[in-house]
């Protein structure tokens, strides 16, 4: 499989290995009849992956429907998905097909599936298992042959544990999973996407392209981009509209420094761990109470465990070499001015995670008076793991 050709076809930009793995997985699942669960944050491009699965399947000649479950009115969601008969509720002036009937023989992409109410989840499980459904207001059992590709931007198993999502439906969907990495984990792709978006926007409006100096690229990559690719695209288009000029024979490109870019960088409503500055004491203090800080550090620790698992998977994975670039690649695809992350910055990031992990353990021990067993239970780890990760001051106690 030519990954670059696949990316070009579906307008997917990026060279990150995790993105490549997600694309390879989608193509492997496509020819099967499995339902697929796509997990990823809002704005990472989950719908593109669903379209790839459909186009590489045996259903490619049939319909592909997109349903945003979060946008369906709660009182009409069953009608939208399974149809209704005339007179089944106020406003049902005629019998109507639902998406499962319309998509018979094709693929149904259910985005934001975690938003479905419990009753609808039960009906969805039944149609996945047997292909059977009933229109709202009807006792007649009907059949459909639909492949479901579901997507969510929430941790679905956490929703199961909170009682917000059916466990049996989760296991039915999660047998075939695809995880799309967020943009903050694809730092080397951020400027490549920026170049693509400013190039496209400039060509439409006859404006100069925007390029960034190395310090500005670092500033762009340091931001978390919680809205992912969708947010970066909107930001880039807005920046180009505000700072660019009409192309002239002597002006084709405008280059920005970090100082030029900084005033336009988005500001999040709240930072991951807000702090307030105490001018009197000349130090920063936490804006959270002890319980809130404990919850935040636990989340960091859980993230660290996920990162360790992913690193282990990456160490074992063997990917084919990337294809050679086309002789005439787009101007924005050039890599010559994209700085690579240095070993020092990677080491600094690892130390930061380790310090947060130690702080979490330290607070748990203090909360339980040094009782390692209780601290380990609260952190969801074994006592042996806790002992191995103890902060230095606790190792001799």
- Contact residues for 269 (Cβ-Cβ < 8 A; gap 6+): none
Same domain, residue pair 134 and 27: yes
- The radius of gyration of the chain's CA atoms, rounded to the nearest angstrom, is 25
Same domain, residue pair 77 and 20: yes
| In-domain check, residue 250 | yes
Same domain, residue pair 162 and 264: no
The pLDDT value given to residue 129: 94
The pLDDT value given to residue 270: 45
Same domain, residue pair 146 and 233: no
The pLDDT value given to residue 171: 93
Same domain, residue pair 143 and 14: yes
The pLDDT value given to residue 65: 96
pTM exceeding the 0.85 threshold for the entire prediction: no
Coil/strand/helix, residue 37: strand
Same domain, residue pair 168 and 193: no
The pLDDT value given to residue 316: 46
- Contact residues for 384 (Cβ-Cβ < 8 A; gap 6+): none
| In-domain check, residue 326 | no
| In-domain check, residue 328 | no
| In-domain check, residue 335 | no
Is-contact 183 232, C-beta < 8 A?
yes
Same domain, residue pair 262 and 278: no
- Tokens matching residue 218: 């670092």
Dihedral sign, Cα of residue 344, residue 346, residue 350, residue 355: positive
Host domain of residue 372: 273-317+341-397
Among 179, 198, 218, which residue terminates a domain?
A: 179
Q: How far is 394 from 366, CA to CA, in rounded Å?
A: 11
| In-domain check, residue 330 | no
Among 129, 154, 179, which residue terminates a domain?
A: 179
Phi/psi region, residue 66 (left: phi>0; alpha: psi -120 to 50; beta: rest), is: beta
- Tokens matching residue 376: 């380990």
The pLDDT value given to residue 301: 55
Same domain, residue pair 99 and 135: yes
Domain count, the chain: 3
| In-domain check, residue 172 | yes
- Give the residue among 195, 222, 221, 192 at the shortest CA–CA distance from 210: 195
Q: What are the angstrom distances between the C-alpha of 146 and each of 82, 106, 224?
A: 12, 6, 38
Same domain, residue pair 36 and 163: yes
The pLDDT value given to residue 100: 97
Same domain, residue pair 228 and 136: no
CATH number for 62: 3.40.50.300
Among 125, 147, 179, which residue terminates a domain?
A: 179
| In-domain check, residue 306 | yes
The pLDDT value given to residue 326: 45
Kindly give the pairing relationship between strand 283-286 and strand 275-278.
antiparallel
The pLDDT value given to residue 284: 41
What is the 8-class DSSP label of residue 330? -
- Contact residues for 216 (Cβ-Cβ < 8 A; gap 6+): 256, 257, 258, 260, 261
Long-range contacts, stretch 71-76, CB < 8 angstroms, 24+ apart: 71/112, 72/115, 74/117
| In-domain check, residue 334 | no
CATH number for 262: 1.10.8.60
Phi/psi region, residue 282 (left: phi>0; alpha: psi -120 to 50; beta: rest), is: left
Mean pLDDT, the chain cut into blocks of 10 residues (397 residues total): 87 93 96 95 94 96 95 92 90 91 96 95 96 94 96 92 94 93 95 95 93 96 95 96 89 93 81 38 44 55 58 48 46 53 48 66 80 77 75 69
Same domain, residue pair 72 and 146: yes
The pLDDT value given to residue 366: 80
Same domain, residue pair 190 and 293: no
């Amino acid at each position: 499989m030519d990954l670059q050709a696949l990316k070009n076809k579906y307008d997917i930009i990026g060279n990150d290995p995790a993105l490549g793995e997600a694309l390879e997985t989608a193509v492997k699942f496509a020819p099967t009849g499995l339902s697929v669960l796509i997990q990823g944050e809002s704005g990472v491009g989950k719908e593109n992956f669903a379209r790839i699965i459909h186009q590489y399947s045996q259903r490619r000649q049939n319909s592909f429907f997109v349903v945003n479950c979060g946008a369906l009115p709660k009182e009409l969601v069953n009608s939208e998905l399974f149809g209704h008969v005339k007179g089944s509720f106020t406003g049902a002036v005629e019998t109507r097909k639902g998406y499962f009937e319309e998509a018979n023989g094709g693929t149904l992409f259910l985005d934001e599936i975690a938003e479905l109410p419990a009753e609808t989840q039960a009906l969805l499980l039944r149609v996945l298992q047997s292909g059977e459904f009933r229109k709202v207001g009807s006792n007649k059992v009907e059949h459909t042959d639909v492949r479901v590709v579901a997507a969510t931007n929430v941790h679905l198993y956490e929703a199961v544990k909170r009682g917000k999502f059916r466990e049996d439906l989760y296991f039915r969907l999660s047998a075939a999973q695809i995880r799309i990495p967020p943009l903050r984990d694809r730092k080397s792709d951020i400027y490549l996407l920026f170049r693509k978006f400013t190039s496209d926007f400039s060509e439409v409006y006859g404006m100069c392209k925007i390029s960034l100096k190395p310090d500005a690229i670092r500033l762009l990559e340091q931001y978390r981009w919680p809205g992912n690719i969708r947010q970066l695209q909107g930001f880039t288009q807005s920046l180009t509209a505000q700072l660019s000029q009409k192309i002239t024979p002597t002006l084709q490109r405008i280059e920005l420094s970090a100082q030029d870019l900084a005033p336009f960088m988005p500001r999040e409503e709240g930072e991951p761990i807000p702090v307030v500055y105490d001018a009197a004491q000349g130090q920063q203090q936490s804006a959270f109470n002890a319980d809130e800080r404990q919850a935040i550090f636990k989340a960091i620790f859980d993230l660290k465990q996920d990162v360790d698992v992913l690193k282990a998977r990456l160490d074992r994975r063997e990917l084919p070499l990337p294809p050679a670039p086309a002789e005439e690649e787009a101007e924005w695809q050039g890599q010559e001015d994209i700085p690579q992350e240095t070993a020092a910055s990677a080491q600094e990031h690892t130390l930061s995670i380790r310090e947060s992990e130690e702080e979490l353990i330290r607070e748990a021990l203090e909360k339980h008076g040094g009782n390692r067993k209780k601290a380990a239970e609260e952190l969801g780890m074994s006592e042996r793991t806790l002992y191995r990760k103890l902060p230095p001051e606790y190792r001799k106690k």
